[in-house]
Amino acid sequence: MNTLHGRSLRRHGSGTPARSETIRRASRMLGWAAIGLVLFGINAALSEAAHQAGLVTYVFPRTLLWSILPYLAAFLLLHRALHLPSMEGTSIVGMATSLPFAVLLIVYAGFHIEYSRGAVLVGYLTTLAWIWFGYRRFVQQYVPVFGYLDPETLQHLNRIIAMPGATPPTKTRFEQIGSIEDAMHCDGILVERGMTADPARTRLLTEYRLGHLRMYSVERIGEMLTGRVGLDHIDENFFDDYADHYLFDNVKRLIDIVAVLLLAPMAVPVGLAVAVAVSMESHGGALFRQRRTGLFGKPFTMLKFRSMGVDKHGPAQFAARQDPRVTRVGRVIRKYRLDEIPQLWNVLVGDMSFIGPRPEQVPLVESFTESISYYPYRHLVRPGLSGWAQVQQGYVGTHEETVTKLSYDLYYVKHCSFALDLLIAVKTVRTLLTGYGAR
């Protein structure tokens, strides 16, 4: 993992330092997007020739030209999502490509604009292939190089990466550096927050920053490589990373309300069918109500379709694999998350969001708060129907799995964004189709 290597400073003819590797990679991705526009130009020319030959209507080339807009939006989304772990490459590319074209179809339908389905398909496939090839070449298959000043810094990073339950990190190289000449080929510099500052080290870091080199804390690199927060390495700096973005929160709340209203025509009849099936199989009513901990630790009543037998005096506990309390209908609705349809009401009234850490039972939260450091931090954001921990880990049933789940939840708290929400939504679709992680 650790390679000691030095390189001479490369300079342009003017004598100014060469750009850092981070700037060069960004330029290459921008160039790749520009080359893709040439492909759209060729496609447009061929489609116009096909129109002149009577093979397609005039709508086909016009629609193909409009597809340039979602193409550019897809690259913009990809750029905004590059902070997400590169191991999520397939989902990131699918998200960045599919969303803009879905919006384009909505615009066509909403404004009754005539368009060619074939041209949209050609534009979508061209964009998907071009973005996927570029992402693999410049991001997923690229081995980033990070420089570090002290061996203790790399040892600290290794401890974070080796935390229990972590998936193998993406391939990365680390090199010890001692000058700007050594650092110019690096994608970033690892900085140990706890290191004692001294004038020489401060001057060196300033020189790196003026050379357009990105500075990363050891904890941040660990999060980039694993998609988790190292719980053993959280300190007061966690508060610096979390910020209450009012625009993000308000827009997300508006999206939640609109999404519930759009899903209601489909969710209501499906929910009624599930309620009838639950009521016919066992007594106790179709709905299950339970107190859960929400935003800022405020309790609320979460709704679900009942999937277990009634036990009013049962203690708060996790569902186990092959849990005998789960009914036959319950196993089906839990597998495909149909038991959570009533939670659309919780989303509508603001108790929950579509995306966020799953709300936990109040007694369990009180217990975990005593035994797990920083557990209440997960309540800094609104709980959700699906979250980063659910799509990465699935259901948890032990104290150890809860600790792992917390490391994913805190990653979301620190890095919540529309890009991350979209990635979670894409991976949630897989969960709904496969029943992954259900108990």
Instruction: Select the more confidently predicted residue: 117 or 433.
Output: 117
Identify the pLDDT of residue 383: 96
Cβ contact 421:355 at 8 Å:
yes
Cβ contact 36:119 at 8 Å:
no
Instruction: Select the more confidently predicted residue: 92 or 115.
Output: 115
Which of 19-28, 202-211, 223-232 is the least confident region? 19-28
Q: Which whole number is the average pLDDT over 113-125?
A: 93
Residue 158, CA atoms < 13 Å, CB-side half-sphere: 10
**In 3-state terms, what secondary structure has residue 425?**
helix
pLDDT of residue 302 exceeding 90: yes
Sequence-ordered list of residues with C-beta below 8 angstroms from that of 35, at least 6 positions apart, any chain: none
pLDDT of residue 15 exceeding 50: no
Identify the pLDDT of residue 319: 54
Cβ contact 382:294 at 8 Å:
yes
Extract long-range pairs of 92-96: CB within 8 Å, 24+ residues apart.
Answer: 92/135, 92/423, 93/128, 93/131, 93/132, 93/135, 94/128, 94/426, 95/419, 95/422, 95/423, 95/425, 95/426, 96/131
The whole-model pTM stands at 0.76
Q: Which whole number is the average pLDDT over 125-138?
A: 88
User: Length of the chain in residues, anyone?
Assistant: 439
When pLDDT is cut at 50, 70 and 90, the band that residue 10 belongs to is very low
pLDDT of residue 125 exceeding 80: yes
User: What percent of the chain lies above the pLDDT cut of 70?
Assistant: 81
Helix (H) or strand (E) holding 220: helix 218-226
DSSP 8-state assignment for residue 380: G
pLDDT digits 0-9 by tens, 393-430:
877 767 778 888 888 999 998 888 888 898 899 888 87
Identify the pLDDT of residue 8: 34
* Exposure class string for 157-179: b at 16+ Cβ within 10 A, else e: beebbebeebeebbebebbbbee
Distance CA 77, CA 63 (A): 22
Count of CB atoms within 10 A of residue 284's CB? 14
Count of CB atoms within 10 A of residue 155's CB? 12
Distance CA 181, CA 10 (A): 8
pLDDT of residue 392 exceeding 90: no
**In 3-state terms, what secondary structure has residue 120?**
helix
Cβ contact 115:169 at 8 Å:
no
DSSP 8-state assignment for residue 308: B
Identify the pLDDT of residue 168: 58
Most confident of 78-82, 139-143, 289-293: 289-293
pLDDT of residue 237 exceeding 60: no
Identify the pLDDT of residue 236: 55
Query: Which residues of the chain form CATH 3.40.50?
Result: 146-227
For residue 315, with 0-12 CB atoms within 10 Å meaning exposed, 13-18 middle and 19 or more buried, which class applies? exposed
pLDDT of residue 110 exceeding 60: yes
pLDDT of residue 316 exceeding 70: no
pLDDT digits 0-9 by tens, 344-385:
999 999 999 999 999 999 999 999 988 887 889 899 899 999
Question: Which backbone phi and psi does 248 adopt, to 5 degrees?
Answer: -60, -50
Domain 146-227 falls under CATH 3.30.70: no
Identify the pLDDT of residue 188: 83
